A and B are shown apart, each in its own frame.
Chain A
Amino acid sequence: MAVDVREIEHEPVHAPPPPRRGLRRLTGAGWLRVLWTMPLAWGLGTLLVIGVRSAMGFEPLWELQVLIVVWTIVVPLAFLAALGGFDYWAYWISGRPTRSEDHSGHGARTWKDYFRVNTDHKVIGIQYLVTTIFFFVAAGLMAMFMRAELARPGMQYVDTNTFNGLFSVHASLMIFLFIIPAFAGLGNYVIPLMIGAPDMAFPRLNALSYWLLPIAGLIMLSSYLVPDGGAFAAGWTNYVPLAVNQADGNLMFQMGVQWAGASSIMTALNFLVTIITMRAPGMSFWRMPLLVWANFATSTLVVLATPFVAGSQFFIMFDRVLHTNFFNPELGGDIVAYQHIFWFYSHPAVYIMMLPGFGIASEVISVFARKPIFGYRLMALSLMAILILGFSVWAHHMFVSGMQPWIRIPMMVTTLVIAVPTGIKVFSWLATLWEGRLHFTTPMLFASGFVSMFVIGGLSGIYLGSVPVDIHASDTYFVVAHIHYVLFGGSLFTIFAGIYYWFPKMTGRMYDERLGRIHFWMSFIGFNVTFFPMHWIGLQGMPRRVADYSDEFGNWNFAISIASFALGASTVVFLYNMIVSWRRGPRAPGNPWRGLTLEWQVSSPPPVFNFDEIPQVVGSPYEYGVRGARHAVTNGDRAQVEEREKVQA
């Protein structure tokens, strides 16, 4: 690495900037600066819109649509700048001294360190997880409201507009603010540790990508406050023309997605560069843990696909605000084109929400079966196969959309073929259990729960992949059942497995095993009773996204609602366990699970720069049961290895 002149002139190493006093505290990075910059940006944005509109002679001057677009751009930017997200780059650009060796932004000594632009991947990982769990709870509560309304046919508690808002915001938050970033949070914490790196490749970018996330979530949540119509209510798919015709709240989805998408892309780039360039000596691609492989594949998907969803939402925004005609058939626009652009991201997004979970399941199952993962190379290759095939199946969401009929057959074939690499993974997990010594701790329960539930979700996907069956089942509760088996039984169970598995590493404390098991069984049973009957009512004729339905489905929906409340209650057990264990749980040893991967070879929680000594990787990460096998050695035990080699020779 080239030595920069400025690095030689800089202040003493590790020195934080001198504290500011008096009024100057208002100009230093932090929440005080946020307090006055955000209203200022809001005011300037408003003035800009009104100024331009009056200069152009547009009526009315106060046009909420335009204002929402400007506000959701300038206010978050002001927030990020004020919090210090751009400080380093701004200093660099303006030629002022930067503190490239200033590590005051690293690590967390008090809770306050979680509320600033922290560059430590471990802090950022926890910031991600806590934030995403907040949005998980919010979106889960919306599901509870929906199930309350759906418990009986007819309208009871909410009107249809509110109901449409509930399921739209529920799905958007769960997808963009929970599942995708929760995996990013787990990856953030674990990947540098697993590959033997001191941090991510771009720590400041990492910090920025985290802080984009609460912005996206708050924009989506605050859509409930938009006057005349409230929250966006065209589903998370936001199909046109409904999205163009809807009240102003719809813009909050279009703009919120941009921030979540930008965050996603930044993190993915960071993961890719980190995984490619920062692996410890000796860690070839074929010695990487499968979670790292999974995030490598996922990040590639994110980088290639996410711009499409950003584009699709920008086009809607342009149609609304600038009166373009991308999706206006009266002036040459094409309604079905939206679905192609949208699903070109949103189908790969299903794998973005699934592959990291595959990685977590592989780690957990191998450790708690005390066995090497079965067919490691094929496991890694099948991830890459899913990555490639995942880009060629998007139109299976559109079999009844009115697109060109010929596309249906090729897309059906690619969709069904994806079952092959997915099947390989499932069979390999099962084979990993075979002749193992299975320890059913909470993470293992969730990982095995994931495998069985994901099989059901995968098989119902075969039904939906077959065009004739899909024509009957699409847009019914069968689809609702399918996506929840994949995203709840699949993604969410692996997120829980990951959180419990790495909880000791992250917090330095053990969670309560008994509460963990209660949480698992409540979720597992509640989940199945809630979602399995939906297959049936869907095939029988209940469409999705309805607040009211035919009386014949009344009893089933009542049972489903009751089960869903039990499922919701399981989250309380989870939160209680997490909060209490984090504060008062017994101290965790460095390696409570006797894992071989690198994150377990350091203390819990790890030192600020992860490894006091960069490990030398000498073998596979899963050599359980192999006598004398090592994944990595450090100087301390290198002598020991040489000794044994001498003996063997």
Chain B
Amino acid sequence: MVLVGVAVGVALALVAVLIPWLPDAASEQAGIVDSVYWMVTIICVLVFAAVAGVSAYAVYKFRAPPGDTDDGSPIHGHTGLEIVWTIIPAVLVTAIAIYSGVALGQSDDLPADHRVIEVTGRQFTWTFTYPDIELEKGRPLTSGELVVPVDETVEFLITSEDVIHSFWVPEWRMKQDAVKGIVTRTIVEPTKIGTYPVICTELCGLGHAIMRSQARVLSASDFNAWVKEQRRLAAEGASVQGTALFTAQCGSCHTLADAGTTMEVGPNLDEALKGKDAAFIRESIVDPSASIAEGYQDIMPANFGELFTDPQLDGLVEYLLEATGGG
């Protein structure tokens, strides 16, 4: 029986170790979460091996021959055993609880010098605001993609403008719901340069599956260059920024051949905007309820007018006009 248990245990341990169960660990917090994960895994593998070993042995050893009418041994219980299998699991889960509690404290730790980024979820886009970075006078930098410098702790202050969303970057291991009316927070210190998905994990309606963005972790100098570029684009107001804006904000729902986006939550803009003038395009962005394409529902966020600066809006309209051959 011990042999069966050991065999099952070894097989399970191989499955547990050889398969890369968790994605790349790209934050300080990911290391903490992963250590808890592996501790739980070791305990669970041992418990499962014991259970599977006993079951396999019992099934093999105590199977009754066909037509057998005898009864088994009338064993009613064993106080010692019962105490053992009450105490051992109690000790194990206590260990897990303590370790998890300590890990939770560590991952919640917020150093004094940290960056604040405000995350706003709305059906079905994410907006990231950098309150410490001024884009132009009196207006903070906002972006549809999350860009952060590496090795700097970020406190994400998260809220929603409509239903509940949930902000998750699998490689960072941290997740937090975005709830209208309250500000929730999560703390991440990205440790690896790279591009990771930002995923909404709370069912938020028709576009839930495509409510995605990306998190780009840059070196400090690249991050500063990115900020500079954002300032330049904001000042320019030409259609140069139209493509970038479209991809970040509109492409998660709309197909547009020119921008290379293919989502089908909202109307295909190659068709819906064909031959339309600038006024119609502007109205469709600022007040999307005014005209609903046939076969679609009135679900487009109504606050893009507030989100974009006037130059940005001009640039987007100009870009769409060009891309769809209207005007």
Contacts and interface: CB of A to CB of B under 8 A. Distances in A.
Interface of A: 155, 159-161, 164, 234-235, 239, 241-242, 245-246, 329-330, 333-336, 369-372, 374-378, 400-402, 405, 408-409, 412-413, 416-417, 419-420, 423-424, 426-428, 430-431, 433-440, 448, 451-452, 455-456, 459, 462-463, 465-469, 471-472, 474-476, 535-536, 539-541, 543-550, 594, 623-626
B73 interface: yes
A401 B177 contact: yes
A241 B122 CA distance: 12
Contacts of B93: 416-417, 419-420, 462
B70 interface: yes
A335 B47 CA distance: 39
A481 to B, nearest CB: 12
B306 interface: no
B86 interface: yes
Nearest to B102: A468
Given A334-B181, A539-B23, A543-B199, 16 more contacts: A164-B203, A164-B205, A374-B76, A374-B78, A375-B82, A378-B77, A400-B175, A430-B55, A431-B75, A435-B75, A451-B55, A452-B55, A466-B96, A472-B37, A535-B21, A540-B22
Contacts of B314: none
3 shortest interchain CB distances as A-B pairs: A329-B181, A625-B71, A436-B72
Contact of A160 (B168, B174, B207): B207
A462 B76 contact: no
Given A409-B104, A420-B90, A451-B55, A625 B73 contact: yes
Contacts of A594: 69
B202 A433 contact: no
A451 B184 CA distance: 40
Interface of B: 19, 21-23, 32-33, 36-37, 40, 43-44, 47-48, 51-52, 54-55, 58-59, 62-64, 68-78, 81-82, 85-86, 89-90, 93-94, 96-97, 100-101, 103-104, 107-108, 162-164, 166, 168, 170, 173-177, 179-182, 184, 197, 199-210, 264-265, 297
Contact of A374 (B40, B77, B203): B77
A530 to B, nearest CB: 17
A413 B104 contact: no
Given A448-B59, A466-B96, A471-B174, A536 B19 contact: yes
A16 to B, nearest CB: 46
B203 A476 contact: no
Contacts of B170: 472, 540-541
Contact of A438 (B62, B73, B86, B297): B62
A532 to B, nearest CB: 10
A402 B186 CA distance: 10
A242 B181 CA distance: 14
29 contacts: A164-B206, A242-B204, A246-B205, A335-B164, A335-B180, A336-B179, A336-B182, A371-B73, A377-B77, A378-B82, A400-B177, A409-B101, A427-B51, A431-B81, A433-B54, A433-B62, A437-B72, A456-B48, A466-B40, A466-B97, A468-B33, A471-B175, A472-B175, A535-B21, A539-B23, A541-B170, A543-B200, A543-B201, A624-B74
Contacts of B202: 239, 475
B173 to A, nearest CB: 4
Contacts of B163: 239, 241-242, 245
B180 A329 contact: yes
B64 A234 contact: no
A467 B29 CA distance: 13
A594 B52 CA distance: 28
Contacts of A475: 166, 168, 175, 201-202
B33 A424 contact: no
B179 A468 contact: no
Contacts of A452: 51-52, 55
Given A378-B77, A416-B93, A476-B201, A437 B173 contact: no
Nearest to B32: A468
A412 B98 CA distance: 10
Contact of B89 (A420, A437, A536, A539): A420
A402 B174 contact: no
A467 B74 contact: no
Contact of A372 (B55, B76, B201): B76
B323 to A, nearest CB: 23
